[in-house]
Structure 1
């Protein structure tokens, strides 16, 4: 006899508790439409802990002057891109271990306990019998021959692992390149501040000279006003340069996974060694890139993986020889009414050797081979395309370095000439030989020359970094942790 449950009525306290418990998960996370059209919707989920708080940002020491190598090391240690690529490579390593495990036999231990009571129909009655079985068994399975299928899977997994390791190095290469680019932008902005401060000093000197000549009665008020206007323009340019420096500082801190408003110091541009010439030819640089670029090497490993997949697909055309065996101990109890029960036990085993050969599959194996070959051809084409891209990238970077060298020499000559011209114009103006227009023109030329000198010096470093990235040389001094 079944008992029927009674639902609580709506007026009962039990009903209220049931409703509250049932609706609580929905009301806590329910989405409601905005109540008014003139204000944005507030989800109200911040108090539920669904909004992530600030991450564990790295703290930079404001009293320490960080060198470029230290900044690169900090970025490699803290940027999550390296940990993501490392974890992916570790996963590929486990897949290789899984593929290798197919070379070994599989041993399984099992225990079985079963009991049953059944009847055998004899004339008009059932003869009932009870049977209980307890079985302990060890099962061994092993593929003796597969004509290269397992070896193909192992070679494919090994190639994928090497490709993942090379991509792990590529992540480091790109991260170092990002640090260098942000660092040089900061150096450019910092140099522009120094140049703007020097320009303000020059503009202030011109204004003081104009006021002095006005006091002597040999200059006009418009001359003084124009000199003051030039000084105000220099102040404006200085503040703009300081703002750009703050932005560049925040960009560099972001690459380091530090807070953008971090207060820190880095080594100056003057402390960085800048070479004058390249010690290798363009052909040597291209050959080095084709041998070292991790992204190109990763694609080459993908070709090897595709080739191994073709080998595995070919093995499906051949038979597979397998062994399977069981060895165990069986103990059983049996009883048939009205006879007494009895126990029995025995060692049991089973062994089989099977040869399986797919004779017809509707073209599946043929299509799988064609698919594997198409993947291999595509991977080979990608390698050829990447080689051309790398060669062109190295050639452009090599040409940019030589151009940057010439620009730096020209900027140095320009700065020297502009400084001499400004000093001569200032002295001549004080002596009354030159007018204010000539002096202001010389001042503007000097300001442009200072900016061009900073741009040219940083340009050399940027072009050298681009060349080192395109050839893979950046990994020689920055890779501090081994690949998985």
Structure 2
């Protein structure tokens, strides 16, 4: 009875474990309930055990854009992932090339056999033992070009992985540049709002002083106070926008958003003064550099290799097969003494294979390969149209940004002069407080537009370089992926 109870306990425990495993590997029980299972906790523990990649930066150093890009390239996980993918494709090319060489295999055959041997009018028990160590060689001498096609496909896949690796860097460089210019714009907007707040406070103080001296009215003071409160409100919004832009830059570089990071200010940057090349040259350069187009070319090469492989299926293949080694054997027959023998053995042969009929499989593979090639060619044409449109839009946006930056600088100068003149006239009683507040708001708007125009010009310049592929033509950084 005790043994039976123990067996039942073991069976119950095993059944419970099986039920838990089944529950962990099943789908959620219903569409209206959140899924919770032991496997979820296991995933959470595995995620917690995976260390987060971090690196230190100098909080006292003002990082330039080039330094920020270098840090991001050396620490961003996407570049490491793309790098490992390219290395895997390089190994696949080595695997494809290995098919050109013979395969040599060490084989050991050992067997023991007992059977009844018919001797004269009765059966005698016979025992045999065999031990054969040998080398087996196989070599595909001729295959009609299938291996060459496989190698060409692997080469195309490796090129595609390398181009994808470059494209990862291109996108990362642009992401860092965009986040950097957004931060400069947000910081410039905050500084502009601070200056506007100082002006609003000065106007309020002036209105208060004139009211005390009987030169202004109570509504004048209230208008200036409202303008100062509006400036404080706008400043707080600008501070929040700057904090968000700071976190965006930090996370783009693979850092926590709260990381203290000092960057070179916009006043130390030299924006472009004119377009470097014509739009035709920009488009032509994009056609030769854009990673997407280069990837399409590798797709076209892979499709051509597939056609070559499909054609090779119509051609016979020739294999060389051989074995060589030593054989050791012993035998025993009832009423007879045991025997033992050893000797050298080898064989070699050529095997010719030619597929005569396969249910039209080769025809279908050929048609599929040709369709893939035509699709790749059409993809190149479609992508060229897309690249042309993107470069044209980026070029036009940069031209617009150039003109806007010049206009914004002129607007800021005139608005500053108008504001100073209006305040001076107000102090003489020639202009009223509404005129001063209007001039102050116009100056604040001009400051904001000047900062936006300068950062927008830098951003559009980076966008044009991104669209043409110029970003990855820069000298490489010191680090590795």
Post-superposition shift, 1:56? Answer: 2.9
Tell me the distance in 2 between the aligned counterparts of 1:403 and 1:180.
Answer: 20
Deviation at 1:413, TM superposition (A): 0.4
User: 5 Å matches for 1:242-321?
Assistant: 242-321=239-318
Q: Distance in 1 between matches of 2:418 and 2:97?
A: 76
Shift of 1:44: 8.0
Superposed counterparts of 1:204-215, under 5 Å: 204-215=201-212
Counterpart-to-counterpart distance in 1, 2:177 and 2:329: 76
| Residue number in structure 1 paired with 2:417 | 420
Change (3 A) 1:48 1:305: closer
How far the C-alpha of 1:124 sits from its partner, in A, is: 6.6
Asked whether the 8 Å contact 2:387–2:467 carries over to 1, the reply is: yes
Distance in structure 1 (CA, Å) of the matches to 2:207 and 2:457:
39
Q: TM-score, normalised by structure 1?
A: 0.92
**8 A Cα contact 1:86 1:483, kept in partner:** no
1:77 to 74, 79, 86: 74
Q: 1:138 aligns with which of 131, 135, 139?
A: 135
Looking at structure 2, the residues matched to 121 and 44 of structure 1 have their Cα atoms a distance apart, in angstroms, of: 66
Deviations, residues 91-149 of structure 1 (Å, cap 9, x unaligned): 11111111101111111111122111111245774211111111011111111112211
Q: Give the CA RMSD over aligned residues.
A: 2.7
Aligned to 2:44: 50
Aligned mates of 2:319, 2:257 — CA distance in 1:
63
TM-score, normalising length: structure 2 = 0.92
Residue 386 (structure 1) aligned with residue 353 (structure 2):
no
Give deviations 1:302-329, integer Å, cap 9, x for gaps: 1011101101111111111111111111
Taking a change above 3 Å as real, the CA distance of residues 380 and 49 of structure 1, as seen in their structure-2 partners, is closer
5 Å matches for 1:22-421? Answer: 23=16, 50-51=44-45, 52-53=47-48, 55-122=52-119, 125-421=122-418
Q: 1:40 to 1:372 in 2, by over 3 A?
A: closer
Shift in alpha-carbon separation, 1:7–1:184, aligned structure 2, 3 A: farther
Instruction: Give the stretch that moved more between structures: 399-408 or 88-97.
Output: 88-97
User: In 2, Cα distance between the equivalents of 1:43 and 1:128?
Assistant: 63
Gaps of 5+ in 1: 1-5
Displacement of 1:20 after TM fit? Answer: 5.2
- SS of the aligned residue for 1:297 comes to helix
SS at match of 1:194: helix
Cα separation, 1, equivalents of 2:307 and 2:291: 25
Give distance in 1, aligned partners of 2:454 and 2:241. Answer: 18
Q: Residues of 2 paired with 1:87 and 1:355: CA distance?
A: 40
Question: Greater CA deviation, 303-312 or 20-29?
Answer: 20-29
CA contact (8 A) 2:23 2:37 kept: no
**Comparing 329-338 with 17-26, which one deviates more in the overlay?**
17-26
Q: For the structure 1 residues 270 and 394, does the alpha-carbon distance in structure 2 shift closer, same or farther, using more than 3 Å as the test? A: same
In structure 2, distance between residues paired with 1:295 and 1:99:
25
Pair 1:442-2:427 in alignment:
no
